Amino acid sequence: MKQVLQNLADGETLLVEVPSPQPKEGYLLIRTVSSLVSAGTERMLMEFGKAGYLQKARQQPEKVKQVIAKVKTDGFLTTYRAVKSKLYQPIPLGYCNAGIVLESGVEGFLPGDRVITNGHHAELVRVPKNLCAKVPDSVDLRSATFSVPSSIGLQGIRLLQPTLGERFVVVGLGLIGLLSVQMLLANGCKVVGVDMDSERCDLARLFGAETIDLSKGEDPVSFCSAWTNNQGVDGVLITAASKSDEIMHQSAQMCRQRGRVVLIGVVGLNLRRDDFYKKEITFQVSASYGPGRYDPLYEEKGHDYPIGFVRWTEQRNFEAVLSLMESGKLNPEPLISHEFGIDHATEAYKALSEPSALGILLGYDQEKETSKKEEIPPRHLPETEIKVDKLTGGNLPTVSFLGAGNYALSVLIPAFQKAGVNLNHIISSAGVSGTHAAKKFGFASTATDPRCVFDDESTDVVVIATRHNSHAGFVINSLEEGKHVFVEKPLCLKLSELDCIKNCLEEAKGRDGKGPSLMVGFNRRFSPLVVKAKSLLDGAQGPKSFIMTVNAGKIAEEHWAQDPLVGGGRILGEGCHFIDLLRFLAQSPVESTDIISMDSKTGDTASISLVFENGSIGVIHYFANGSKSYPKERLEIFSGEKILQLDNFRRLEGYGWPNFRKMKLWRQDKGQDACAKAFIQSLKSNSSAPIPIEELLEVGRISIELNGLA
């Protein structure tokens, strides 16, 4: 299918063939009929992309601080590669989409329903149910694409709390501003629009508003004073985009005593206290479409807010806007400035620079839109797999990837390339990141259906880099098909899954004891500094003591890694790395464990104690409440009156060692390349996997049990 993407590194707009997304429970699969290019948001993204690195940095000072902190802790090269990988990964464009449901995994929607969504510019989109709304039969889908920007304006209006007969100013007569003018008028309010563009002022007057044309030198404050008999307006809705602080100053001046100012756009916010203090003016920033926005439980998992407590959510705002269109009180038709077919999407983005650009529509060369479900043509999906190139490389192992996230793109795929493999399939859920990876690294094909990998006899190795809750199923599917498996940690989330994997391995090996290899991405034991530490410890007598300090940093409670059903929690999802590291250095099975957690809600600030059968002991301090300016990982090892200190996988220092003092690397090396190389080398030489399966199962079991206590 065709989809519009943007390269953030240079701002280039791309029309790309990507595999279609797969159906998913809780989501709708929708064939796009029309989508709307946002003249505000998408123009801003283009300008950001085209800006140089210095200009990008000036626009995002907080990101710059994060980069500087990472350089200090992880080194310049590691940070540079991470930033470059992020910038050069294309992002999907668009958030105003109208189309016809092909498949529905939710109640309330059926195949053939006409819907609007916040989906991207693509021939096929997959959208969660709370971000969809049915389009009334009398509303055409071209007009319906304006529902999303209208909802942005509507949410700002709801915060203004207008009542019948009140007077309001809309500053900025762009797309959202002109839609907001119509909705305020529909609410029985009197409206004046303010803009520099005379043509947009003409449109506002067409809808029934008064206007202030700044290009003609008209003064908003004087106008509003005369318009309200010196009382001031009841409120101001700011939909403009400007760096100037003057807009906020004038908005306060235009307001009456205890007036309201709501910001939807982006303007300078160096507020003058007297403007707001003397009149007790309230100021509020509106967040996109309404309640539910940026809440993963609402948007991704479909948990609705009870209507008795939250009257207007994102979805209900969509429905309200569509109802206004159905009644004729909201008419987007005059706002359409350009129309292009999807094949000419790049031209549509060039049109954004034209002064007349307002509502730019993309049409899709598919079956004609209809208004009744029984008239919908037979279901047709674009291909879920796209061939990119032919496999080369002779007798090298052929590797396919499940997952094309940031870690796979920046670390795992390059590591396997260096190890010497043929890259076959790469699977991504939505298709975009997989398509980018296929072209960048030379995969033979990209797809969205994992069965492409399991059913392909040419694939020798499956690398699993998806979300944690899918690991066990993909491991078992791969082993059942006789394929070697490299799974990014953790191996699984449940003890029952661990037992299934163990049984599957035993069955796959058969009577001859041969069969597919299983490897978990416990890369830290392969770091050159850890390898050096291990060689020193091998000559030391007696048990060892370990103190592992992990300055993990805080992540949001709503992050998928914190979800016990998806990520398993951070102790299991990442803590297993350090349990494996200490298990490797102790060279002994774990005899007993304990955990003390400070935060019972997330459990990601905890101390884990390990006692090994050979008498060694270890403690892992996994803390999420530290500063990012401090190095992330430090390991101290005490053994035979000697000490080793490993600092963030960049430096190893010895105290009391007769022939060792210090080892320093030019860049941080956590062993990812060596880990992949060791695994691939074991396959080429037909030898055992680098990490014994008994250790993988042991670390998996301990991590799951500790996570249950965290």
Q: Are residues 126 and 153 in the same domain?
A: no
Residue 62 pLDDT > 90: no
SS3 of 385-435: EEECCCCCCCCCCEEEEECCCHHHHHHHHHHHHHHCCEEEEEECCCCHHHH
Q: Are residues 481 and 628 in the same domain?
A: no
Classify 294 in phi/psi space as left (phi over 0), alpha (psi -120 to 50) or beta. Answer: left
* Joined tokens for residue 217: 């030198």
Among 467, 438, 469, 441, which Cα is nearest to 452's? 438
Q: For the chain, give the percent of residues with pLDDT over 70.
A: 88
Residue 653 pLDDT > 80: yes
Q: Round to whole Å and give the CA distance between 239 and 627.
A: 37
> Can you give the pLDDT at residue 608?
97
Q: Are residues 361 and 403 in the same domain?
A: no
Instruction: Evaluate whether residue 302 is within a structural domain.
Output: no
Last-in-domain residue among 461, 485, 520: 520
> Can you give the pLDDT at residue 279?
94
Q: Round to whole Å and give the CA distance between 81 and 506.
A: 40
Q: Round to whole Å and give the CA distance between 265 and 35.
A: 22
Q: What CATH number should be reported for the domain holding residue 481?
A: 3.40.50.720
> Can you give the pLDDT at residue 381?
44
Q: What CATH number should be reported for the domain holding residue 139?
A: 3.90.180.10
> Can you give the pLDDT at residue 514?
77
Q: Between 121 and 74, whose confidence is greater?
A: 121
Residue 140 pLDDT > 70: yes
Enumerate residues 6+ apart whose C-beta is below 8 A from 616: 543, 544, 545, 546, 586, 588
Q: Are residues 496 and 536 in the same domain?
A: no
Enumerate residues 6+ apart whose C-beta is below 8 A from 359: 36, 39, 146, 175, 332, 335, 336, 337, 338
Residue 248 main-chain phi, psi, to 5 deg:
-65, -40
Last-in-domain residue among 491, 520, 549: 520
Q: Round to whole Å and give the CA distance between 630 and 627.
A: 6
Q: Round to whole Å and give the CA distance between 287 and 293.
A: 7
Residue 8 pLDDT > 80: no
Q: Are residues 232 and 341 in the same domain?
A: no
* Polymer length in residues for the chain: 710
Q: Are residues 468 and 564 in the same domain?
A: no
Among 143, 159, 193, which Cα is nearest to 323's? 143
Q: Are residues 603 and 551 in the same domain?
A: yes
> Can you give the pLDDT at residue 509?
79
Q: Which amino acid is at 43?
A: R
Q: Are residues 659 and 533 in the same domain?
A: yes
Mean pLDDT, all residues of the chain: 90
Q: Are residues 568 and 704 in the same domain?
A: yes
> Can you give the pLDDT at residue 89?
75
Q: Are residues 46 and 132 in the same domain?
A: yes
Q: What CATH number should be reported for the domain holding residue 573?
A: 3.30.360.10
Q: For the chain, give the percent of residues with pLDDT over 90.
A: 77
Among 537, 500, 484, which Cα is nearest to 643's? 537
Among 85, 243, 57, 96, which Cα is nearest to 176's? 96
Instruction: Evaluate whether residue 495 is within a structural domain.
Output: yes
Q: Are residues 181 and 93 in the same domain?
A: no
Instruction: Evaluate whether residue 532 is within a structural domain.
Output: yes
Q: What is the pTM of this model?
A: 0.86
Measured CA distances, 180 to 147, 153, 202, 267 (Å): 12, 5, 15, 18
Among 508, 516, 464, 462, which Cα is nearest to 490's? 464
Instruction: Evaluate whether residue 557 is within a structural domain.
Output: yes
> Can you give the pLDDT at residue 372?
42
**What does the DSSP assignment read for 431-500?**
SHHHHHHHHHHT-SEEES-THHHHT-TT--EEEE-S-GGGHHHHHHHHHHTT-EEEEPSPS-SSHHHHHH
Instruction: Evaluate whether residue 485 is within a structural domain.
Output: yes
Residue 518 pLDDT > 50: yes
Among 477, 469, 347, 487, which Cα is nearest to 408's? 487
> Can you give the pLDDT at residue 7?
82
> Can you give the pLDDT at residue 390?
52
Segment 432-465, tens digit of pLDDT: 999 999 999 999 999 999 999 999 999 999 999 9
Residue 378 pLDDT > 70: no
Instruction: Kindly report which listed range (141-150, 174-183, 370-379, 510-519) carries the lowest average pLDDT score.
Output: 370-379
Measured CA distances, 258 to 245, 254, 261, 656 (Å): 21, 11, 10, 72
> Can you give the pLDDT at residue 371?
44
Q: Between 521 and 90, whose confidence is greater?
A: 521
Contact between 340 and 347 under an 8 Å Cβ cutoff? The reply is yes
Mean pLDDT, rounded, for 484-493: 97
Q: Between 50 and 514, whose confidence is greater?
A: 514
Number of domains the chain is built from: 4
Mean pLDDT, rounded, for 259-282: 94
Mean pLDDT, rounded, for 205-225: 96
Contact between 610 and 582 under an 8 Å Cβ cutoff? The reply is yes
Domain encompassing residue 510? 385-520
Residue 708 pLDDT > 90: no
Among 674, 329, 427, 436, which Cα is nearest to 532's? 674
> Can you give the pLDDT at residue 373?
43
Q: Are residues 121 and 99 in the same domain?
A: yes
What is the b/e burial string over 304-330, where b = at least 16 CB atoms within 10 angstroms of the residue's CB? ebeeeeeebbbbbbbbbbbebbeeeeb
Instruction: Evaluate whether residue 379 is within a structural domain.
Output: no
Instruction: Evaluate whether residue 592 is within a structural domain.
Output: yes
Report residue 397's pLDDT band, with 50, 70 and 90 as the boundaries. very high
Instruction: Evaluate whether residue 325 is within a structural domain.
Output: no
Enumerate residues 6+ apart whose C-beta is below 8 A from 470: 402, 464
Report residue 377's pLDDT band, with 50, 70 and 90 as the boundaries. very low
